[in-house]
Structure 1
Amino acid sequence: MGEATDEDQDRDRDRDDGGPRLPLLLEAVLSVGTDLELRATLQHIVDSATELTDARYGALGVVDPDHDHLTGFYTAGMTDEEVAAVGHVPDGRTGLLGVLIRDPRPLRLDDLTADPRSAGVPAHHPPMHSFLGVPIRVHTEVFGNLYLTEKRTGRFTEEDLALLRILAAQAGIAIGNARLYGTTRQRERWIEGAAAVTTALLTGESAENALMTVAEQARILADASAGVVLQPTPEGGMEIVAASTNDDPGDLIGTTIAPGSPVLEQLLGGEPVFVDDSSTDPRMTTHVRSRFGPSMMLPLQSGGKLIGTLALPRRRGGAPYSAVDRLLASQFASQAALALVLADARQDRERLAVYEDRDRIARDLHDLVVQRLFATEMMLESTRRRAAGSSDEDALLGKAVDELDSTIQEVRTTIFALQQPPADAPTSFRGRVLRETGGAAALLGFQPSVHFSGAVDTLVEEAEADRLLAVLRGALAAAHRRAGVGAITVEVTAGDGGVAGGGGVRLRVEDDATPPTVVAWP
């Protein structure tokens, strides 16, 4: 018989070792499917592969299917000190790691240092010679690669390769299950988050709080560094109006995307924008972009109406968003936009109901109360004329008529105030006077009594109105500084009762101090 070759010796050794290694394979196959959390599953795989092949070091690199580089790296056999000495995690763009990414087929080498394709090994990496690598497929997609080095008993054999391929096939099934479980849990969290946002918006959130609720909930769900909401500006750009971060968001609020930006054109057109690195992407033009890396910018639109944009940037160097992340975030943005529209419609309905109720009250006051008071005043006036012979009765009736007249004026003022939209700044002169007295009430502790006489809204010119309001403001401020003031009467008269040459308007402010203070203008 001829002399035995190296291959024959390998087969003999493999045959001798085959029995004892079968239980190890079965144990490894079972162990890789014991955890449904993806990170734990991946670590189980690389640990089991290292033990099964008697390798000193092992690694599992997760491949980015779109960019041909590694997005995750799990190791076995290296101490914490060795990991720290190596420093950065390989990206798989060079060396044998890159070879397996570009050509996902099993690779076995007796001495990787002799292979011209070997490159990029860090300076402080432990010495490596023997090498074995196989791809891990999930269905037809290459999920990653298993890398094993430094077999303790010499070099890796064909049996090692066969066992590792079996383990890689089982690992693909386990990874598929873990990814499915992770995606399901992730989808549940986004659905729960969208429901929480909808509930919050439909239970009375103000417009500003509603946008902050959307930004904060989306940031948490996406594991982003910040969650911001932008809204279109009159100039055609977009401005950040709400921001949620773990740090101070002050420099984010007010940041504007200038009109004409390529990103802006997509956003205003209702298209999402996905950015791999905000700090280097030329489409990003804001001053805060240098702080962030991967980012999603999602339109908030419902029924063809663009409300704004939800942006979810991660920190610089952070993990890129996956296709599942992008899909779930886009669905969340659509749900949040619908909730914002419904919340806005609800607020409009509530505001309309308030207006209608106030209008009804104003009509009732005018049609019932004022008319009855006016009729009573007329009856008292007639009675006073008939009782003109008695000075005491005449004085008493005169006082009653004056009180009724004052009440009528106050009721009319209340009717006018009810007809003013509460959230709008008044445009009429009468409304501006009421706003000044209403604002002063918070400081005074009581509401000044306001009486209008004549067509003040039509007879008072703008310049004259500004001067009168300045005098009124000063009189109310002075009354606040005086002690013992418990009531203030403000009278504004226009028309025949006004002063000639004074714009046809007169102001009188009187308090109940002892002695009373009177401010008259002009």
Structure 2
Amino acid sequence: MSGPPPGSRLTRLLDAVLGLGTDLDPGVTLRRLVAGAAELTGAASVVLRTVEPGPAGPAGVRAGPDPAATGPVLRVPVRVGDEEFGTLLLTGRPGGGPFTDEDEQVVRVLATQAGITIGNARLYRAARQRERWIEGAAAVTTALLTGEDAGDALTTVAERARRLADAAAGVILQPTEAGGMEIVTVSTPDDPAGIVGSVIAPGSPVLAQLLGGEPVFLEDSATDPRMTTPVRHRYGPSMMLPLEAGGRLIGTLALPRRRRERPYTAVERQLATQFASQAALALVLADAHRGRARLAVYEDRDRIARDLHDLVVQRLFATGMMLESTHRRTAAEQVGDLLDEAVEELRCTVGEVRTAIIALRQPPADPPAGLRGRVLREAAVAAAVLGAPPSTHFTGPVDHRVPDDTADRLVDALRAALADAVRRPGARRVRIGVDATATDPDGRAAVRLTVSDDSAAATAFHWSAPL
């Protein structure tokens, strides 16, 4: 191989330097460095040996045959800032002579530019990492404050952290009554069997740090003597970060990578620790938000109970007045009809009390469950317009006997009937009846819906469907 023409060397050096600064991929930069050094010096072999496995790979980057051949060797360090990144080894000088000072200066210029480019790439990558972690923390906070329950909230934190950290799993551990820590939530693309429920037993060397709210960083979970969980053999590098806010330790966020994967960098550790702090604060705020929502539900239930008390007392008082009036009437005044009306009023009152009690048993955080709950929800919506809650009566086990598709059609029919009642002038008192023990004209079991009101123009609305 002959050396490069002297007249063109400077021009090619400038081209090579410019080429080193056009890509933020460290692997591309290193390959261009090696190729440029070989071209500008005419070396038969150029190898870049890195201090640690990284973009260049464990064996470095090579141009030409293996440098084990005898002959002159030129060694030029590659530095990134104050850090020693690797060494360029050039062998096989054309003509068998030694490399010149000019050769060394050319290679040093290339190595310096490569170090600058790799440093810039690291800064860019770190900035992108910070941006992703900040966006992830904001997304978790938004998700937690939109009303997720406690279990879903922990899953959200574990899943988002796993993706941000490029980890094999996102794991949440919480303190146990026995003084250990138990895995309660796991997010992993692999089989999670055997992970949830695993316990760090009391007395484990790592436990004091975790319960004290200190982060723990492991180079290899499988071999670290501080780890005692039965699933530790699955993982390698790991971070265990406290979920702590306002002096309250919610638990620990663990982010293990697979065995033999790259360890976490100092930047990744810092960003993950900040994410865990933000997530813990969001968990505390979400829990407080759910507490306020439950309190609001309980307060609303107190109001319902008061309204129910007033309704029942008024109706029973009126019924009592009816019965007392029978003492002052004769048989010719149709006392029997009056008693029938009083009995019907008492039956309706008992039905409304039963319906109200079932409504109050509905879990606060859940939507209305079953046909009964859905009918009550429609009645509550209509009450806001009518000014008074409709009387709602159920006959038979409506939640068990009425199939879902039939229940959907019944609710649609109820919604239309209530809309008609709301539009009718003078409609103030609406009655809703759902009978799951009815029969259709052919004698088959059926469910029947009846809606009526007290307006002058009202006619009772009837709807039925076979079961």
Q: Do the structures match in fold with TM over 0.5?
A: yes
Match status 1:281 vs 2:238: no
Residue 25 (structure 2) pairs with residue 37 (structure 1): yes
Query: Is this contact kept in 2: 1:359–1:419, CA < 8 A?
Result: no
Say which SS state the counterpart of residue 224 (structure 1) adopts.
coil
Shift in CA distance, 299/445, structure 1 to aligned 2, threshold 3 Å: same
TM-score by length of 1: 0.65
1:396 aligns with 2:342: no
Name the structure 2 match of 1:317.
Answer: 260
Q: What is the alpha-carbon distance in structure 1 between the residues aligned to residue 203 and residue 350 of structure 2?
A: 57
Encode CA deviations 1:166-219: one digit per residue, 9 max, x unaligned.
Answer: 222222221221111111111111111112212222222222222112111111
Please list, as runs of the form range in 1=range in 2, the aligned pairs for 1:334-353 lying within 5 A after superposition.
Answer: 334-353=277-296
Q: Which residue of 2 aligns with 1:193?
A: 136
Aligned pair partner of 2:163 in 200, 220, 228: 220
- Is the CA contact (8 Å cut-off) linking 2:47 and 2:67 kept in structure 1? no
Aligned amino acid, residue 382 of structure 1: E
1:63-82 map, 5 Å: 63-64=51-52, 74-77=60-63
Q: CA shift at 1:417, angstroms? A: 4.9
Give distance in 2, aligned partners of 1:140 and 1:261.
39
* Distance in structure 1 (CA, Å) of the matches to 2:20 and 2:278: 38
- Consecutive unaligned residues of structure 2, counting only runs of 5 or more, are 366-393, 404-443, 449-467
Structure 1 equivalent of residue 401 of structure 2: 444
Query: Are the structure 2 counterparts of residues 388 and 406 from structure 1 closer, same or farther at C-alpha, using a change threshold of 3 Å?
Result: same
Deviations 1:259-286 (Å, cap 9, x if unpaired)? 2212221111111111111111111111
Shift of 1:132: 3.4
User: For the aligned residues, what is the CA RMSD?
Assistant: 3.5
Q: Tell me the residue number matched to 2:146.
A: 203
Tell me if 1:387 matches 2:344: no
CA deviation vs aligned residue, 1:426-484 (integer Å, no higher than 9, x gap): xxxxxxxxxxx9xx7542339xxxxxxxxxxxxxxxxxxxxxxxxxxxxxxxxxxxx84
* Deviation, structure 1 residue 360: 0.9
The CA deviation at 1:250 is 2.8
Kindly indicate whether the alpha-carbon contact (under 8 Å) linking 2:133 and 2:164 is maintained by their aligned counterparts in 1.
yes
Are the structure 2 counterparts of residues 37 and 266 from structure 1 closer, same or farther at C-alpha, using a change threshold of 3 Å? same
Q: Runs in 1 of length 4+ with deviation above 6 angstroms?
A: none
Cα distance in 1, alignment partners of residues 239 and 274 from structure 2: 13
Q: Map of 1:499-518 to 2, 5 A cutoff?
A: none
Q: What does 1:144-223 align with in structure 2 at a 5 Å threshold?
A: 144-151=86-93, 153-154=95-96, 157-159=99-101, 160-223=103-166
Secondary structure of 1:203's counterpart equals: coil
What is the match of residue 478 of structure 1?
none
Q: Percent of counterpart pairs with the same letter?
A: 54
SS at match of 2:334: helix
Q: Alpha carbons of 1:396 and 1:306: their partners in 2 closer, same or farther (altered >3 Å)?
A: same
Q: How does 1:484-499 map to 2 (within 5 A)?
A: 484=445
- Please state how far the C-alpha of 1:72 moved relative to its aligned partner: 5.4
Match in the other structure for 1:28: 16
Aligned-pair CA distance for 1:163: 2.4
Corresponding residue SS for 2:77: strand
Partner Cα separation in structure 2 for residue 255 and residue 143 of structure 1: 41
Indicate if the aligned counterparts of 2:74 and 2:99 stay in contact, CA closer than 8 A. no
SS class of match (1:262)? coil
| Alpha-carbon distance in 2 for matches of 1:484, 1:54 | 96
Distance apart, 1:297 and its partner CA: 1.0
Partner of 1:432: none
Q: Where do residues 297-376 of structure 1 align in structure 2 (5 Å cutoff)?
A: 297-367=240-310, 369-376=311-318
Deviations 1:399-424 (A, max 9, x none): 33333333333444455556658369
The answer on whether the counterparts of 2:30 and 2:61 sit within 8 Å (CA) in structure 1 is no
Shift in alpha-carbon separation, 1:339–1:45, aligned structure 2, 3 A: farther
**Closer, same or farther: CA 352–195 of 1 in aligned 2, 3 Å:** same
**Runs of 5+ unmatched residues, structure 1:** 1-12, 80-124, 425-436, 447-482, 488-522
SS of the aligned residue for 1:132 comes to strand
In structure 1, distance between residues paired with 2:67 and 2:330: 120
Distance 2:169 2:95 in 1: 51
* More displaced 10-residue stretch of structure 1: 26-35 or 404-413: 404-413
> In the superposition, relative to structure 1, how do residues 141 and 387 fare at CA in structure 2: closer, same or farther (>3 Å)?
same
Out of 399, 403, 408, the position equivalent to 2:349 is 408
Question: What amino acid is aligned across from residue 291 of structure 2 in structure 1?
Answer: D
Task: Name the aligned partner's letter for residue 54 of structure 1.
Answer: G
